[in-house]
Chain A
């Protein structure tokens, strides 16, 4: 039984938590079964390079799945157990990543372009993806998500989701190419394939985060952040895959790096926020809205709606992007940008609209809770601090003032205090809405933590 956590996160007697974990475990089991069945079928009936990869990669995927599960749960445990579980998770994820890299390198990238090219492509995609994750996390202006969960989301998108779709898509593509008329009909089928399989695989990661880490999954804004992070992770690996493949196709003509560079620009610059990040952000938005809806029917509707928009957006791009002819002239460069803007722009605008509205909604409610907390005169939030905490710019100004007075340590102390105060307001908001399964003591411990940090700063 969990008796002492900082702050205490789970109510050991909660009836909600075990049910959620049960669903999460069932989903994880389904994923594993799907992986095993599809990879064996792939290997037996296709016996291609991806077939072998899928079979040998199973162990890596299982290790990473188990490791991330332990990792995200680690922070809900008390301090005494935390280190032990962190080490366990680290070892499992490390082994999984190494094994996975080995399998991918040997059977996929080496096959097409060699490990050196694959490594260069990965290095080229790292800074852009890191920038994307930084921006996505910063979008949550009121209550930023912990880096560990944002990175876990991206890792799921990059490793688990891509592994899932490699197998599903191989089977679908092979079947379609053997059965359908080449041309628009086949292209439409493949667009449905990409939309359905890739969004389901990515959405599963968002759904798992929601089920396992609901305490860090507050609302629509968090959903968009996690969804976009999963999409960025997926886009990272897909970019490497396309870059290495096109390099190998065009290298004999002396245009390998040009082809890989065009892919890099299209996927890591132009499409960084427009493609996978946008689609999966819709799934996250659906899950985030469901998080706060009162009835089960509405929750299911919101999650399904998020998936439908994501699948439709992805399908529209894959099926109809070629409607816009790209001329082989200098104007073609303008057309490429216009095509992305016209085809994916409306979807990205939709996500931004939900995000802006979500931030306003979250901000107003946090302000309301901060005022109520200040009115209790507990000392955790003072009336004068409310307008500062409510404004990201004023919070930054306060941290910069601390920086000029006390240097970096002062900056980080004030930052920790502000975060703890916002955590408290968020906890109060969820409790008022009866959508939280942590005990009341958790709120008091958050209050105590704020007081402790305040004393540090005063000292």
Chain B
């Protein structure tokens, strides 16, 4: 093997290793980001009581019918939370996420006692659309620290059918 050839190959190899080092840095930053938002040792042991998910009457702004996990896309629906199940010294909120990860309805953040009159949390129809988008919706009650959600106290999944 000529020295010129080996030098060229070595240059390629070293360039690849330099790129890989950048890759390791990117992945390390990703891990730090993950650890920041999923802080270890944050489990409080508290469980929020989600009473259920119901069809929502927009006129009376009250839930109707039985607790369900599937809805038609023309139906509006809302989760009902028993805020008294959470200690009053916590800062909490409740959110609906659609299947794209966008927030489609929220109350809080505030202390549970301040949210007592907001126990019904409906899903909002995105602006410009007639109905909610089909897909899998996630409802969460979260505990916050310094404005960052650090723990899920309660969670429900709901499927909105396409047709």
Instruction: Give the interface of A toward B (CB within 8 A).
Output: 112, 177-178, 180-189, 191-192, 220, 248-250, 252-253, 282, 285-286, 289, 292-293, 298, 301-302, 304-306, 308-309, 311-313, 315-316, 319, 350, 353-354, 357-358, 361, 364-365, 432-434
Q: When A181-B150, A185-B34, A432-B1 are in contact, do A305 and B155 touch as well, CB less than 8 Å?
A: no
- A289 lies within 8 A of B16 (CB): yes
Please give the distance in Å from B121's CB to the nearest CB on chain A.
14
| B52 lies within 8 A of chain A by Cβ | no
- A184 lies within 8 A of B12 (CB): no
Which of B62-70, B112-120, B125-133 touches A? Answer: B125-133
Q: When A249-B162, A315-B30 are in contact, do A182 and B97 touch as well, CB less than 8 Å?
A: yes
Sort chain B's interface into a size bin: 35 or more
Which B residues are in CB contact (< 8 Å) with A353?
15
| B11 lies within 8 A of chain A by Cβ | yes
A252-B134, A309-B22, A316-B30 known, 16 other contacts, Cβ within 8 Å: A180-B152, A181-B142, A182-B95, A182-B97, A185-B34, A185-B36, A189-B38, A249-B133, A285-B16, A305-B19, A308-B24, A309-B16, A311-B27, A315-B30, A354-B12, A358-B12
Q: Mark B145-156, 1 if CB is under 8 A from A, else 0.
A: 000011110010
- B30 lies within 8 A of A182 (CB): no
Which A residues are in CB contact (< 8 Å) with B11?
357
Which A residues are in CB contact (< 8 Å) with B12?
220, 289, 354, 357-358, 361
The CA-CA distance from A249 to B97 in the complex, in Å, is 15
Cross-chain pairs A/B with CB under 8 angstroms, 17 sampled? A112-B162, A181-B142, A181-B149, A185-B36, A188-B30, A248-B134, A250-B133, A305-B20, A306-B20, A309-B16, A311-B23, A312-B23, A315-B26, A354-B15, A361-B8, A361-B9, A432-B1
In the complex, residue of chain A having the shortest beta-carbon distance to the beta carbon of B7: A361
Which A residues are in CB contact (< 8 Å) with B24?
308, 312
Q: Mark B41-57, 1 if CB is under 8 A from A, else 0.
A: 00000000000000000
Which B residues are in CB contact (< 8 Å) with A187?
101
- A183 lies within 8 A of B15 (CB): no
- B23 lies within 8 A of A309 (CB): yes
Which A residues are in CB contact (< 8 Å) with B157?
177
The CA-CA distance from A309 to B5 in the complex, in Å, is 25
- A188 lies within 8 A of B129 (CB): no
Which A residues are in CB contact (< 8 Å) with B149?
181-183
Which B residues are in CB contact (< 8 Å) with A350?
19
Which A residues are in CB contact (< 8 Å) with B87?
none
Q: How many A-B residue pairs have CB under 8 A?
A: 124
Please give the distance in Å from A306's CB to the nearest CB on chain B.
7
The CA-CA distance from A182 to B149 in the complex, in Å, is 8
Which B residues are in CB contact (< 8 Å) with A357?
8, 11-12, 15
- A249 lies within 8 A of B135 (CB): yes
The CA-CA distance from A312 to B95 in the complex, in Å, is 31
Q: When A252-B162, A309-B20, A354-B16 are in contact, do A180 and B134 touch as well, CB less than 8 Å?
A: no
The CA-CA distance from A289 to B24 in the complex, in Å, is 19
The CA-CA distance from A312 to B18 in the complex, in Å, is 13
Which 9 residue pairs are nearest across A and B when measured between Cβ atoms?
A185-B37, A312-B23, A305-B20, A185-B38, A312-B26, A308-B23, A188-B34, A309-B23, A361-B8
In-complex Cβ contact of B16 among A177, A189, A302, A365 (8 A): A302
Which B residues are in CB contact (< 8 Å) with A315?
26-27, 30
Which A residues are in CB contact (< 8 Å) with B138?
177, 182
Q: When A289-B16, A312-B24, A357-B11 are in contact, do A180 and B38 touch as well, CB less than 8 Å?
A: yes
